[in-house]
Structure 1
Amino acid sequence: MKLQHYLGGLEGLPEPLNLEKKVFVEDWEKRIFGIHVAMMGLSNHLGSALPGYPIAEVPTTFRDEWTWASLRTGAEGMNPFDYFKFRYYEKWLGGISQFFVDNGYVSEEEIADLLGVTDPPVAGPGSPAIDEQVIDYLRRGDSPRRDVAHPKFEVGDQVLITNAPAGAHTRLPGYLRAKTGTVQRIFEGDYGYFVHTGDGIGDPMPIYIVEFTPEELWGPRAEPGANALYAELFEAYLEPIEEDR
């Protein structure tokens, strides 16, 4: 959630924002969505995930991990000007394509050769076992919950949000960093994030709903009438309030 991946508190945005209401604007966007789902359903991490999949037995040549974090890492790594220039699934296309290039599945030259081709080659029918695995994943998913909750904080505690350096990907919005909030709810389990982002999350941990006042986040520029902002945050992003603060 770097600059281009969150808009909270940013000034000077065009008014009104023109939000696209169609799920898919062009037909190819449905295909890129399907590719992403297939990659999720064939990801290596499913072999040790819940509910547990026999992923090693699936006859696929895709032998890497692909999670929502992978998709978001590609978007967050974009130049901010490019990020705001492209539509939603155009960002997906760029991130997925770069992943396949980086991991040796296809070269940039091969992709370039297909640009402008009016009748591109179509892959033949795949293995039924691959289809079954992806469909099974769609039906059962992959729960991030790993245990009951073991929270360090209680409802009503005031907490300080960390300002940990962000690597390629983070789940901590920039406008919450170094701000003070109040714990309003603790979710019932410890939740993993499937990958380690380098800023504290990855292993299973509690998740909290933290309340912030507009004045805490935006000071005297906070708009009147707003009562509170609530954010779901991993425990690694919370610190206790020191007594001398």
Structure 2
Amino acid sequence: MKLQHYLGGLEGLPEPLEMEKRVFVEDWEKRIFGIHVAMMGLSKHLGTALPEYPIDGVPTAFQDEWTWADLRTGAEAMNPFDYFKFRYYEKWLGGITQFFIDKGYVTEEELTAKVGGLTPATGTPEAAIDDQVIAYLRLGDSPRRDVAHPNFPVGSAVRIANPAADAHSRLPGYLRGRTGTVERVFEGDYAYFTHTGDGIGEPMPIYIVEFQPTDIWGPRAEAGPEKLYAELFEAYLAPIEEKS
């Protein structure tokens, strides 16, 4: 995972991070959240999701897939300096905007011309679209596709993989190459809604892996009984080979 998207476990940051506790700082952020939710509720992958939705019959101009993975990918594509400069929903706005431009829904020139006065769409059967989004909010889209088929039982010693970086990852960078112990296996095989290029996408088990702080930070780890736990897809785990 690129540096700016997972600060957990890093040392030597120049100053303490200030954590904003308000969900929405400004009113426009609620609209960005709503746009994201609507895009998820109209995503084309929902036609084969669990549960399946009659998405092909919804009269919407949105004809692409949009999931949390797409939102995260948009943020991770930002220049690190921009990433730290903008607030949470400003990053969302940037990712969503770039997605619409890349997919041809709007041009940069059209966006510039609309700044300060957006015009509501006309002639759209809004009721059917609203019904689909509300159904999605109520029923969701389960990533579980089967019962678990784990290759690593509870208690297994594992080494965390170090796959080549791609557009998006769910692997915390500071865990790469570290060793831990499987503490729990979740009950199902879970898909990720997109293929990240570093191993996840198809249904697979998910584990909670326990790490000793000294195995991550060495002698600089704080003293005490603390342990670190991470939820990891099976593609990020490898067995520890015993020395002969």
Q: TM-score range by the shorter chain?
A: over 0.9
State the Cα distance separating 1:67 from its structure 2 match: 0.4
Is the 1:192–1:203 contact (alpha carbons within 8 Å) kept by the matching residues of 2? yes
Which residue of structure 1 lines up, in the alignment, with residue 7 of structure 2?
7
State the Cα distance separating 1:14 from its structure 2 match: 4.6
| Deviations, residues 133-191 of structure 1 (Å, cap 9, x unaligned) | 00000000000000000000110000010000121000001000000000000000000
Is the 2:59–2:125 contact (alpha carbons within 8 Å) kept by the matching residues of 1? no
State the Cα distance separating 1:18 from its structure 2 match: 1.6
Which residue of structure 1 lines up, in the alignment, with residue 28 of structure 2?
28
Is the 1:214–1:226 contact (alpha carbons within 8 Å) kept by the matching residues of 2? no
| Deviations, residues 40-81 of structure 1 (Å, cap 9, x unaligned) | 000010000001100011111101000000000011111111
Cα 1:74–1:226 change in 2 (3 A) is farther
Work out whether 1:77 is the aligned partner of 2:77: yes
Aligned residue pairs total 243
Work out whether 1:59 is the aligned partner of 2:59: yes
State the Cα distance separating 1:225 from its structure 2 match: 2.4
The one-letter code matched in structure 2 to 1:172 is: L
Which residue of structure 2 lines up, in the alignment, with residue 96 of structure 1?
96
The one-letter code matched in structure 1 to 2:169 is: T
Which residue of structure 1 lines up, in the alignment, with residue 222 of structure 2?
223
- Pick which of 121-130 and 214-223 moved more: 121-130
The one-letter code matched in structure 2 to 1:89 is: Y
Q: Superposed, which structure 2 residues align to 1:180-195 within 5 Å?
A: 180-195=179-194
State the Cα distance separating 1:226 from its structure 2 match: 5.2
Partner Cα separation in structure 2 for residue 27 and residue 197 of structure 1: 33
State the Cα distance separating 1:227 from its structure 2 match: 1.5
Partner Cα separation in structure 1 for residue 153 and residue 192 of structure 2: 22
CA RMSD of aligned residues (A): 1.3
Partner Cα separation in structure 2 for residue 127 and residue 120 of structure 1: 18
Partner Cα separation in structure 2 for residue 94 and residue 30 of structure 1: 15
Which residue of structure 2 lines up, in the alignment, with residue 107 of structure 1?
107
Which residue of structure 1 lines up, in the alignment, with residue 128 of structure 2?
129
The one-letter code matched in structure 2 to 1:229 is: L
Partner Cα separation in structure 2 for residue 51 and residue 166 of structure 1: 32
Is the 1:59–1:129 contact (alpha carbons within 8 Å) kept by the matching residues of 2? yes
- Using structure 2 for the length normalisation, give the TM-score: 0.96
Partner Cα separation in structure 2 for residue 150 and residue 205 of structure 1: 7
Partner Cα separation in structure 2 for residue 227 and residue 174 of structure 1: 20
The one-letter code matched in structure 2 to 1:178 is: G
Partner Cα separation in structure 1 for residue 14 and residue 121 of structure 2: 43
- Pick which of 142-151 and 220-229 moved more: 220-229
- Using structure 1 for the length normalisation, give the TM-score: 0.96
Partner Cα separation in structure 1 for residue 24 and residue 237 of structure 2: 37
Is the 1:155–1:183 contact (alpha carbons within 8 Å) kept by the matching residues of 2? yes
State the Cα distance separating 1:13 from its structure 2 match: 2.3
Q: Secondary structure at the match of 2:45?
A: helix
Partner Cα separation in structure 2 for residue 5 and residue 108 of structure 1: 26
Partner Cα separation in structure 2 for residue 100 and residue 120 of structure 1: 16
| Deviations, residues 188-234 of structure 1 (Å, cap 9, x unaligned) | 00000011111111010000000001111111111222521000000
